[in-house]
């Protein structure tokens, strides 16, 4: 029987990534072709982050040709571009499990591989982490290189420049920052930095002449000439730098700038890395690499946003496989779409409403607002801290800013929410998309902590809708409440309920009793309200009478309604899709304790541990929040009363 020929002979031959160091230039090119072909074939089956990973294939191959990443340290910012890194580090056979329950993570994960030196999921952390590793190396008298690979989108965050500032000041040796410049983040990049990167495209001309000038200056016996001549020589070099490359931001920050280099020419990139290794002996280096998002797969090149994060697709046809929808049962609108359309509706009659997002126009539904009111919509880039304080400044001058930010990303702006918004009691509305368990992106992207970290802040109003109609009402409530307000809502589609017209606000701090009962009070929030109603129906058939309360507001909590029905029942059950410590269940427990109303309490929330990645239904099962596990838990709780 003939053994089938592998389409990936070089990849299959790799017993360890260190073998890439010995590849010839032509083998490096072939290896890059194999990595890209495998990436396309594999992700077409599993889905995942796609176009950004296609853009870093040659760069990754070149890096493994020059460095040993068991010894050396490489930090991939965000992790959207680290699939080639995973493929070369012994995880190729696990790619069919990518982002699946108990499968390969879609991001870097320290406990997944010794080659993953730092976990990533949020942007703009790589330079800080790599610099910390470099200084730890120096303090421990170790000898290895530390590398941060960061995209131009992540460079819009202030944190990246804070790290560059310190690295340049410390003049850290054997420290390399690779700027992966592909002209965009998830949405088209914004800000003046993009224009700056375009300016330094002429950098190669500067480097050619700079080296000649440096050589000439060093040839002058400065000890034998006046200080004035030496000063003039240094002034001439600085002036020439600014003439040839306007700004030279990175060199002014203390980095030796190299590039730009074509990041899809593996041998050119390899040569640039070789030069960087030499330059790093004297201090930190920034290598500017130009890549194209989606490179090597034409559909992704033509529409890199569409192909940024994909479900399974037909690789040959270049078409994403669509879920078949029953035409007789049209899908309900997503919460994200309802948010965007409602904001547009309100803004049509109120020119003080302003939209803000942090590089997530499409992901938050703010793209709908941008199309309708481009002059009132601001994408600030990956800069959540700035987004929050920018909103505070708008609110301080009488505007009604609405900042749409994923729940997990608002964590980055916590101090700004506390100090700039809540302490000053400014009317900023936060739309927290992707609240709760979101699935395949795992621990860095689950929106589990917003209730806990926002509930403790003064002046804020905190809400969660039971369905898309209630979301509409909460948006109106938040925009016109006159205080800081946050609305958390899940990823995915609503329940398909009727949208009430005209749109009306909710009374602040008022919950809603959906069902009366005498045995248990099911006190539910947001996405858990509908499951609570269905559970009450099942338990009623078994003779267990359950009242169901839609809390609506976590802060201020409707304590009078809660206490009234808690007093009528033998026990209280809280249901939420958030972390247990400090969350909604804590608010209920505090209200019961403050009223000295002693009732057994079952808290159904995410326990105090990390939630992995995978299908949300399976993750809810893991956390004891699936419908059938909730039924078992509540039934056992009731028996013990």
- The pLDDT of 21-43, averaged and rounded, is 97
Instruction: Kindly tell me the burial class for residue 550, based on how many C-beta atoms sit within 10 Å of its own C-beta (0-12, 13-18, 19 or more).
Output: buried
- The pLDDT of 88-96, averaged and rounded, is 97
Q: Do 82 and 118 lie in a common domain?
A: yes
DSSP readout, 242-296?
HHHSSS-HHHHTTPEEEEEEETT-HHHHHHHHHHHHHHTTTS-EEEEEE--TTTT
Pick the catalytic residue: 34, 384, 576, 623? Answer: 384
Q: Do 420 and 475 lie in a common domain?
A: yes
Q: Do 473 and 407 lie in a common domain?
A: yes
Q: Number of structural domains, the chain?
A: 3
Residue 386 belongs to domain spanning: 335-488
In a domain, 314, yes or no: no
In a domain, 221, yes or no: yes
Q: What is the pLDDT of residues 507-554, one digit of tens each?
A: 999 999 999 999 999 999 999 999 999 999 999 999 999 999 999 999
Give me the CATH number covering residue 128. 3.40.50.970
Question: How many CB atoms within 10 Å of residue 516?
Answer: 12
Q: What is the pLDDT of residues 248-271, one digit of tens each?
A: 788 889 999 998 999 999 999 999
Residue 205: the pLDDT is 45
Q: Do 469 and 348 lie in a common domain?
A: yes
Pick the catalytic residue: 109, 256, 279, 293? Answer: 293
In a domain, 561, yes or no: yes
Q: Do 445 and 413 lie in a common domain?
A: yes
Q: Do 541 and 471 lie in a common domain?
A: no
- The pLDDT of 32-51, averaged and rounded, is 96
**What is the pTM assigned to this prediction?**
0.90
Instruction: Kindly tell me the burial class for residue 21, based on how many C-beta atoms sit within 10 Å of its own C-beta (0-12, 13-18, 19 or more).
Output: exposed
Residue 561: the pLDDT is 98
Mean per-residue pLDDT over the chain, rounded: 91
Q: In the annotation, is 384 catalytic?
A: yes
Per-residue confidence band for 301, with pLDDT thresholds at 50, 70 and 90: very high
In a domain, 292, yes or no: yes
Euclidean distance between CA atoms 117 and 130, whole angstroms: 9
Q: What is the pLDDT of residues 552-571, one digit of tens each?
A: 999 999 999 999 999 999 99
Q: Do 540 and 633 lie in a common domain?
A: yes
Pick the catalytic residue: 73, 256, 341, 412? Answer: 412
In a domain, 322, yes or no: no
In a domain, 313, yes or no: no
The residue among 488, 520, 550 that closes a domain is: 488
In a domain, 309, yes or no: no
Q: Do 151 and 118 lie in a common domain?
A: yes
Give me the CATH number covering residue 548. 3.40.50.920
In a domain, 597, yes or no: yes
Q: Do 484 and 522 lie in a common domain?
A: no
The residue among 257, 277, 302 that closes a domain is: 302
Cis peptide before 633 (omega within 30 of 0): no
Euclidean distance between CA atoms 416 and 457, whole angstroms: 11
Euclidean distance between CA atoms 269 and 260, whole angstroms: 10
Q: Do 475 and 519 lie in a common domain?
A: no
The three-state DSSP-derived secondary structure of 213-227 is HHHHHHHCCHHHCCH
The residue among 281, 302, 323 that closes a domain is: 302
Distances (CA, A) of 638 to 381, 437, 573, 579, 641: 50, 27, 10, 23, 5
Q: In the annotation, is 99 catalytic?
A: no
Q: Do 447 and 585 lie in a common domain?
A: no
Please count the residues of the chain. 641
Q: Do 173 and 222 lie in a common domain?
A: yes
- The pLDDT of 167-191, averaged and rounded, is 81
Euclidean distance between CA atoms 242 and 379, whole angstroms: 30
């Amino acid at each position: 029987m003939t053994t089938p020929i592998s389409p990936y002979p070089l990849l299959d031959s790799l017993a360890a990534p260190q073998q890439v160091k010995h590849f010839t230039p032509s083998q490096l090119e072939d290896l890059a072709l194999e990595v890209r072909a495998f990436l396309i074939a594999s992700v077409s089956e599993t889905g995942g982050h796609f176009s950004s990973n296609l853009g870093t294939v040659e760069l990754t191959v070149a890096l493994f040709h020059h460095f040993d990443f068991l010894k050396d340290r490489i930090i991939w910012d965000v992790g959207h571009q680290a699939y080639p890194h995973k493929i070369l580090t012994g995880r190729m056979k696990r790619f069919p499990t990518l982002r699946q329950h108990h499968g390969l993570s879609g991001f870097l994960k320290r406990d997944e591989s010794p080659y993953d030196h730092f976990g990533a999921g949020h942007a703009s952390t790589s330079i800080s982490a790599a610099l910390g590793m470099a200084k730890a190396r120096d303090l421990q008298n170790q000898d290895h290189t530390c590398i941060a690979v960061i995209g131009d989108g992540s460079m819009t965050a202030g944190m990246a420049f804070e790290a560059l500032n310190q690295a340049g000041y410390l003049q850290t040796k054997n420290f390399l920052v690779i700027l992966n410049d592909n002209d965009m983040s998830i949405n088209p990049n914004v800000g003046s930095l993009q224009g700056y990167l375009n300016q330094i495209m002429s950098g190669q001309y500067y480097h050619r002449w700079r080296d000649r000038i440096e050589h000439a200056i060093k040839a002058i016996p400065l000890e034998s000439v006046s200080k004035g001549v030496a000063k003039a020589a240094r002034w001439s070099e600085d002036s020439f730098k600014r003439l040839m490359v306007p700004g030279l931001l990175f060199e002014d920050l203390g980095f030796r700038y190299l590039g730009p280099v074509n990041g899809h020419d593996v041998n050119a990139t390899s040569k640039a890395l070789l030069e960087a290794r030499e330059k790093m002996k004297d201090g930190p280096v920034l290598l500017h690499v130009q890549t194209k998002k989606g490179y090597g797969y034409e559909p992704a090149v033509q529409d890199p946003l569409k192909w940024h994060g994909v479900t399974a697709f037909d690789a040959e046809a270049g078409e994403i496989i669509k879920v078949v929808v029953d035409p007789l049962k049209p899908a309900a609108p997503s919460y994200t779409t309802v948010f965007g359309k409602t904001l547009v509706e309100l803004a049509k009659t109120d020119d003080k409403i302003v939209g803000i997002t942090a590089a997530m126009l499409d992901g938050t539904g703010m793209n709908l607002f941008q199309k309708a009111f481009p002059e009132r919509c601001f994408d600030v880039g990956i800069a959540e801290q700035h987004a929050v304080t920018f909103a505070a400044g708008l609110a301080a001058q009488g505007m009604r800013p609405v900042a749409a930010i994923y729940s997990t990303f608002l964590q980055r702006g916590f101090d700004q929410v506390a100090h700039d918004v809540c302490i000053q009691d400014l009317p900023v509305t936060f739309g927290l998309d992707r609240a709760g368990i979101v699935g395949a992106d795992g621990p860095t992207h689950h929106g589990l902590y917003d209730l806990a970290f926002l509930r403790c802040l003064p002046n804020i109003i905190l809400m969660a809708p039971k369905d898309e109609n209630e979301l509409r009402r909460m948006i109106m409530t938040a925009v016109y409440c006159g205080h800081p307000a946050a609305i958390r809502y899940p990823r995915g589609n609503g329940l398909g309920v009727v949208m009430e017209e005209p749109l009306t606000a909710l009374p602040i701090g008022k919950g809603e009793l959906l069902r009366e009962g005498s045995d248990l009070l099911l006190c539910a929030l947001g996405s858990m309200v509908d499951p609570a109603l269905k559970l009450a129906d099942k338990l009623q058939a078994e003779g267990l009478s359950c009242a169901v309360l839609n809390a609506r507001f976590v802060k201020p909590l409707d304590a009078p309604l809660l206490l009234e029905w808690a007093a009528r029942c033998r026990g209280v059950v809280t249901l939420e899709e958030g972390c247990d410590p400090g969350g909604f269940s804590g608010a209920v427990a505090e209200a019961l304790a403050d009223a000295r109303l002693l009732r057994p309490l079952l808290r159904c929330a995410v326990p105090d541990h990390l939630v992995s990645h995978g299908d949300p239904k399976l993750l809810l099962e893991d956390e004891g929040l699936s419908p059938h596990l909730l039924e078992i838990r509540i039934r056992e709780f009731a028996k013990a009363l």
